[in-house]
Amino acid sequence: MKKVLGFIGIFLIYSALFAQSDVNTRLYEVWDDQPAQNRGADYGINKPGRGFPYDADWEQQAYPIGNGYMGAKIFGRTDTERIQITEKTLANEDPYRRGGLTNFAEIYLDINHHNPQNYKRSLNLNEGILYVNYMQDGVNYTREYWASYPENVIAVKLSSSEKGKISFTLSAEIPYLRSVNETNTKTGQTWAENDLITLSGNIAYFNLNYEAQIKVINDGGELIAQNYNRNAEIRVVNANSVVLLITTDTNYELSENIFLETTNNQKLDGNVYPHENVSSRIYTAAGLGYEALKESHLRDYQNLFSRVAVNFSPEVPSVTTRKLLEQYKEDSSNPYLEELMFHFGRFLLISSSREGTLPCGLQGIWSQYEVTPWSGGYWHNINVQMNYWGAFNTNLTETFTPYLEYYQAYRPSAEVNATEYVQRNNPQALGKNGENGWAIGTGASAYAISAPGGHSGPGTGGFTTKLFWDRYEFTQDTSFLREIGYPALLSMSKFLSKTLKPSENGILLVDPSASPEIRIADENGNFSGDHYISKGTTFDQSFIWETYNDLLKAAEILDADDEFLSVVREQINRLNPILIGASGQIKEYREENNYGEIGDPHHRHISHLCPLFPGTLINSKTPEWLQAAGVTLDSRGKKATGWGLAHRLNLRARAKNAEKAHDVYSTLLKENTLPNLWTVHPPFQIDANLGLVSGVAEMLLQSHEGYIELLPALPKAWETGSFDGLVARGNFEISLNWEKCKISSFKVISKSGGKCSIKHSDIEGAKIEDSAGKKISYNMKGENIIEFSAIKSGEYFITF
């Protein structure tokens, strides 16, 4: 009886300790007391690389929802509501001729409420639902918007406090039917019939057939469908409530042929039309009914979002998010915005990257443009990798699956890239039977990939496979490692080995080599000259080391015995990847002496520190390199693009520079964050929104050095707080509370079992108990490091 009571007592104590970190105890909203403005696009800004045309209100004020397939920007207006729709596969020609994301549809609701009172529009991050509430003429009106991944529809519900008060006119249009660029010309038509509006057409550039349907489901009232002057509309008159279901599709199908076929209008089968898929989806969703659809959405979305809680602030400010950001720029002492941004980033990743969809691109899943900035594609010299850095340590591994599916489709084309690259740059290293591995360059899209070269060296491939290794380390999924991860690392290593050429002292150098996007100065001192090409840049050399090192670890786990591994073991010690310059800095180039001799000293890229993060070559066991990385960070400064600051945040966190990491985070919020919390390059790019998620997690938990380190970069601004559900390598899920920068208690859930090593300055003398109250013994494995054996699914509570 005493043992039972003891167990109950322990359970109650630990339940109380960790109750505060339950994500459901705090509601996270991005909200405003005004609708977004909708003043339209500015056609006077014509910068193809940065997007055309620009729409400031879409970018800065409207709120996003998405389900991985589609994204929508919601303006929340009461006069004429605007719902802008994007679908990942809808593409036209972009400035790089690989295919760029383009606006799918514009949907309007003419509601004609011009004097709203008590207005609020709020994006509920806990639910993934956007709400609009207001009063007009004594009646309360509510709208709900959400994007369902299970049913692949966007749902909108309009309701009111009195029956018969829902009246509006629904219309939709296909944007940019008349393009300024002939290759981007669309054909299309829109028509209304009964309760359905259909948009359908073709983009000739890829022979891309597309269709969208909007179904109106009314409770009471009357529907009137009308078609005139190429416009289609459905009038809703005096309904009690109305549900709109929206879905889209194209004839795109992810396959090897997409990337191997070089003729753009042959990449897709023009005889395939999406009509049946779209109609079936609408029919099925309508049959389920709104409440069942909503329940399905909440169950799916919250399963992902609610896994993690992070709490830095004792209270939630009552001001709008727009005002919160304004106040933060004046006084950043309240860390609530920093907490909110972390959760908003996870919402964006869930919304833009789900299994069976294309990966999250440069703008996530949102584009109102005809020509999206930088195509909205997948940029492999940091941007697409940054999108997924936070997937693993914040418990969203499933969101990385789309990139794996994308990789498997482009892999044959990447093998062609590798052979052509080696033939061009090091023909004597060509492999027998075409065994030259695979290679990926910077730019890529849903329709094409590029080869390394130009402003970024072949290290872009190793930059990419680092994600594959992280996927294994955080999940311990040996099936994935055997079937996808190890073959990818092995083949990438084969390619990278063929980019190396012998140099003096037996060192192997990548030749040609480039540190991403660094240019030389012109005669006026402006960095607008040619990209600087060299040999053995730190970026390229270090990512070969990272790839080789990850491959060898994977081979040991799988007991693999490929003959090429002997080459890797010999070459890895001849890379000499990290050099320190006369200024005490990590050199970006081998020929560099003092910091800043080559290229812009304050460049947005800081590629030579990638071996610190996301790599592991620079760590606490290499103190001289770690110190030199700090010199480089100080010299580079924090005047950068949004994603440039996000990388600096991760680097400062990994270096355990707590206050400097927090300072960079604060700068990102103050200088590169919009009122709707989107981050900007500028213009909007999602990479900083997602990159800061991993940066915050790295400040709280690190696990890259063979042990779990608790609060390695905790700033004074987060003096008291908690987190729940963050993941460490080894597939350990960690929950932790701290007060006045001191850990009060923490919990470890071992998802896979195995040795669990934990480091913290106060760890010696810690007490470990399992969920049954049994004391668990441990060994000291080094200074401030303990290690104990964990069973699969075991829960362990640790107190000091």
Provide long-range contacts, Cβ within 8 A and 24+ apart, for 363-366. Answer: 363/101, 363/684, 363/685, 363/686, 364/64, 364/66, 364/71, 364/686, 364/689, 365/66, 365/68, 365/70, 365/71, 365/86, 365/88, 366/64, 366/66, 366/71, 366/72, 366/73, 366/86
Q: Do 95 and 221 fall within a single domain?
A: yes
272, 306, 340 — which closes off a domain? Answer: 306
pLDDT at 24 over 80: no
What range does the domain containing 172 cover?
33-306
How many residues make up the chain in this entry? 800
Contact 454, 521 (CB under 8 A): no
Band (525; pLDDT cuts 50, 70, 90): confident
Share of the chain above pLDDT 70, in %: 96
Confirm whether 106 is domain-assigned: yes
Confirm whether 796 is domain-assigned: no
Q: Do 285 and 369 fall within a single domain?
A: no
Q: Do 175 and 286 fall within a single domain?
A: yes
Q: In this predicted structure, what is the pLDDT of residue 800?
A: 82
Q: In this predicted structure, what is the pLDDT of residue 15?
A: 45
Confirm whether 298 is domain-assigned: yes
For the chain, the distance separating the N- and C-terminal CA atoms, rounded to the nearest angstrom, is 28
Q: Do 281 and 357 fall within a single domain?
A: no
Mean of the per-residue pLDDT values of the chain: 95
Q: Do 477 and 545 fall within a single domain?
A: yes
Q: In this predicted structure, what is the pLDDT of residue 762?
A: 85
Contact 664, 649 (CB under 8 A): yes
Indicate the SS3 state at residue 118.
Answer: strand
pLDDT at 2 over 60: no
pLDDT at 211 over 90: yes
Q: Considering only CA atoms, which of 350, 323, 292, 375 is closest in space to residue 65?
A: 350
Q: Do 289 and 374 fall within a single domain?
A: no
Distance CA 473, CA 397 (A): 11
Confirm whether 348 is domain-assigned: no
Contact 88, 101 (CB under 8 A): yes
Number of compact structural domains in the chain: 2
Q: Considering only CA atoms, which of 84, 86, 81 is closest in space to residue 67?
A: 86
Confirm whether 659 is domain-assigned: no
CATH number of domain containing 116: 2.70.98.50
Contact 76, 36 (CB under 8 A): yes
pLDDT at 732 over 70: yes
Q: What is the mean pLDDT of residues 633-643?
A: 97
Confirm whether 674 is domain-assigned: no
Q: In this predicted structure, what is the pLDDT of residue 434?
A: 74
Q: What is the mean pLDDT of residues 34-58?
A: 87
Q: Considering only CA atoms, which of 89, 286, 274 is closest in space to residue 198?
A: 274
602, 637, 672 — which closes off a domain? Answer: 637
Q: What is the mean pLDDT of residues 179-201?
A: 92
Q: Do 544 and 609 fall within a single domain?
A: yes
Q: What is the pLDDT of residues 100-140, one digit of tens each?
A: 999 999 999 999 999 999 999 999 999 999 999 999 999 99
pLDDT at 597 over 60: yes
637, 672, 705 — which closes off a domain? Answer: 637
Q: What is the mean pLDDT of residues 8-27?
A: 50
Q: In this predicted structure, what is the pLDDT of residue 94?
A: 87
Q: What is the mean pLDDT of residues 77-81?
A: 98
DSSP string, 544-582: HHHHHHHHHHHHHHHT---TTHHHHHHHGGG-----B-T
Q: Do 412 and 268 fall within a single domain?
A: no
CATH number of domain containing 393: 1.50.10.10
Q: What is the mean pLDDT of residues 340-360?
A: 98
Q: Do 296 and 358 fall within a single domain?
A: no
Q: In this predicted structure, what is the pLDDT of residue 47?
A: 63
pLDDT at 18 over 80: no
Confirm whether 540 is domain-assigned: yes
Q: What is the mean pLDDT of residues 647-654?
A: 98
Q: What is the mean pLDDT of residues 624-630?
A: 98
Q: In this predicted structure, what is the pLDDT of residue 387?
A: 98
Q: Do 357 and 302 fall within a single domain?
A: no
Q: Do 541 and 445 fall within a single domain?
A: yes
Band (745; pLDDT cuts 50, 70, 90): confident
Q: What is the mean pLDDT of residues 225-230?
A: 89
Q: In this predicted structure, what is the pLDDT of residue 46?
A: 60
Confirm whether 799 is domain-assigned: no
Q: Do 479 and 565 fall within a single domain?
A: yes
